Amino acid sequence: MRIAIIENREGIQNILKLRYQVLVSEYGYLPKNNSKIITDKYDLHSSTIHIGAFNKNAEIIGSIRVVMNSKIGIPSEDYFDFITIPLPPEYGRPNLNKDVLADLSRLVITKKFCANKLIKSYKLTLSYKLITISNFFAKKSGATVCCAVVNPKLSKLFSLLGYRPIGSESICDKNKLPLIPFIGEINELVCRPIMDKI
């Protein structure tokens, strides 16, 4: 398996197709569309880093993106107000208004390569690898805090990697899926470097 930063248009297009395959065709989380891709305004913005995972045949099997906060905001703002929500006292500040935010989103992995009962350690899962690499690039890009709106099925993994929930589970108005908002202080997160680029 190979994991790399995706910078070329063809590679990014393959990520958008993979999202459709996973989120629409495999799991039915989102409705069908004629373009057969899942995309938004953040995908081609300069603040976005795309990370892809490939099998031995060089076929893309998983991806995630890191979006640094910019004038267009971050994807998670569509679901949760990370910047102004009051923080618990242990954070030492009232909110994240003065922090540099990085948003982790669009984590998708084909059903065939999702974790199964044969995997003994969460560190061997593709989700673990993609998230920790994302943490690394968020830190490298100057983030002080990472945020993510997380499927409850992944909440344990995010917690193991240093993230903490700052809200309770709720149902998204847009797609009716459950979600939990998480944040992680960048210096407390598990990071894994990678140098490959495509």
Name the pLDDT band for 116 (thresholds 50, 70, 90): low
Model pTM score: 0.91
68-84: pLDDT as tens digits? 999 999 999 888 999 88
Residues linked to residue 171 through DSSP beta bridges, in sequence order? 178
Domain ranges across the chain: 2-188
Query: Is the model's pLDDT at 172 over the cut of 90?
Result: no
pLDDT at 88 (0 to 100) = 86
Q: Which CATH class is domain 2-188?
A: alpha beta
Query: Is the model's pLDDT at 156 over the cut of 60?
Result: yes
Q: Say if residues 164 and 182 touch (Cβ distance below 8 Å).
A: yes
Name the pLDDT band for 173 (thresholds 50, 70, 90): confident
Tell me what the mean pLDDT of segment 182-197 comes to.
88
